[in-house]
Structure 1
């Protein structure tokens, strides 16, 4: 009797193992699997393109989740969200369009974080580099020539254009520059007009000028001439998934902040 017990126990173990194998092969139970990757969609101001793409690359080492971006003017992104476009995180280049999204009940107000700042600069084509003093004596004729244009964002809606109008108005320059302004759909579109020589000058953010190869900064607008340039980050209401919250936290962490600083942003 005692000699047969080990054999019986072994037989039972073999039978259990066989049953488990059969169940697995039939799909009755599942083998443990790797954590499922989720997707996070970020609607972000165009001026953040390069920095956020680098941050997403760094995040790959931390998470299997896929980070997707839609870069455009903050105004366009807010309107797209209002129309039902799916996003998990919204990053605007000004408070106006986050205020708009908040008023439309599109974001979680408690998540709203003013994370970054920037500077407003005047740029010219690299082959016509020069330095100018930006004050109330700046002349449109001297800067742009008889027919030249000044490129910036649409001054009624695109954040960089709103800042530009505020600065020119504060300096008493709006009336003489207004007929020369070409309003672009985003700061990157305004930058491209100057890079291609289609505009004699442009008003963009310092971070955009820094990554451009074919423009030079002619001067920096006094910080006192326009509202502070602020980039608020917020989670989208109803889309604040665990994956979205994890990436949102990473955006506010030290590794992401170091990348923002590398691109010339000021971390608030």
Structure 2
């Protein structure tokens, strides 16, 4: 009787261990919300013992969290610069980092404009340039266009690019600098101007594995994000692939 009880207990323990899901945490740019959620769901269904947790925010803020020691396995930034900064500081595995996607910077609003100087005198939302890549690109654009000093007083700074999109859609500002891929979330506004690419740094999305986090499961998810299936999802949400 005792032998049977011990055996049953052992089987229960082994079953519990074998069914336990390992967890992966990925920190992603807010503009990747729908993409990463769809890809994570797909990966979870195909790998039932691996759970993917998603942490969204501005890429610069997410980078600072990694430097501060946040328990994150992978990062997916809307800025090649932020991944390069982490890599140069030794926070990213050198063999597991890649430039993946391209995006376009646009202005959302309710009135079409033909030039950037038409923003003067209107409330315009941009991400905080120090922590939000879209805000950094927007500042580059306004600085190169010699509008930054004049327009600065009318800018509303947001914690990420999705917040900037919400501001214009909720009529809290007149215009917002957002990504082309964010337009799908707009209900009360639309793209009113596409920013010339020569006015800002290339918008390259890069991802990688955090230093010392390259476990078998993490590498499996890293490879999945570069799979043919994943590439179709990126294109579904209007991202361009880096060749």
Normalising by structure 2, what TM-score? 0.90
Does 1:122 pair with 2:107? Answer: yes
Q: Which aligned pairs between 1:199-218 and structure 2 lie closer than 5 A?
A: 199-218=173-192
String of CA shifts for 1:79-108, please: whole Å, max 9, x gaps.
Answer: 111111100101111122212212332111
Corresponding position: 1:99 with 2:84: yes
Cα gap change, 1:23 to 1:240, in 2 (>3 Å): same
In the aligned structure 1, how far is the partner of 2:12 from the partner of 2:20? 18
Equivalences for residues 90-239 of structure 1 within 5 A:
90-124=75-109, 129-134=110-115, 138-141=117-120, 146=121, 148-239=122-213
The 1-side partners of 2:83 and 2:134 are apart by 15
Alignment of 1:79-94 (within 5 A): 79-94=64-79
CA–CA distance in structure 2, aligned partners of residues 81 and 132 of structure 1: 39
Residue in 2 that maps onto 1:61: 45
User: 1:1-35 deviations in whole A, cap 9, x for unaligned?
Assistant: xxxxxxxxxxxxxxxxx999576235399767756
Gaps of 5+ in 1: 1-17
Contact in 1 for aligned 2:60/2:130 (Cα 8 Å) = no
Which secondary structure state, in structure 1, belongs to the residue aligned with residue 152 of structure 2? helix
C-alpha RMSD over aligned residues: 2.3
- Distance in 2 (CA, whole Å) between partners of 1:58 and 1:116 is 20
8 A Cα contact 1:154 1:161, kept in partner = yes
Hey, what does 1:25 align to over in structure 2? 8
What residue is the counterpart of 1:13 in the other structure?
A: none
**1: CA distance, partners of 2:167 / 2:11:** 62
- When residues 28 and 219 of structure 1 are mapped into structure 2, their CA distance, relative to the original with a 3 A threshold, is closer
Question: Aligned-pair distance for 1:61?
Answer: 2.8
Secondary structure of the structure 2 residue equivalent to 1:232: strand
1:43-80 Cα distance to aligned partner (Å, 9 max, x none): 11111011110111111232111110110011111111
Distance in 2, matches of 1:31 and 1:151, equals: 54
* Cα deviation, residue 210, structure 1: 2.2
- Are residues 26 and 201 of structure 1, via their aligned partners in 2, closer, same or farther at CA, if it must alter by over 3 Å? closer
Pair 1:237–1:209, CA change in 2 (3 A): same
Normalising by structure 1, we get a TM-score of 0.82
Query: Hey, what's the Cα distance between the residues in 1 that align with 2:138 and 2:209?
Result: 28
| Residue segments in structure 2 that go unaligned for 5+ positions in a row | none
Once the two structures are TM-superposed, the CA of residue 244 in structure 1 deviates from its matched residue by 0.8
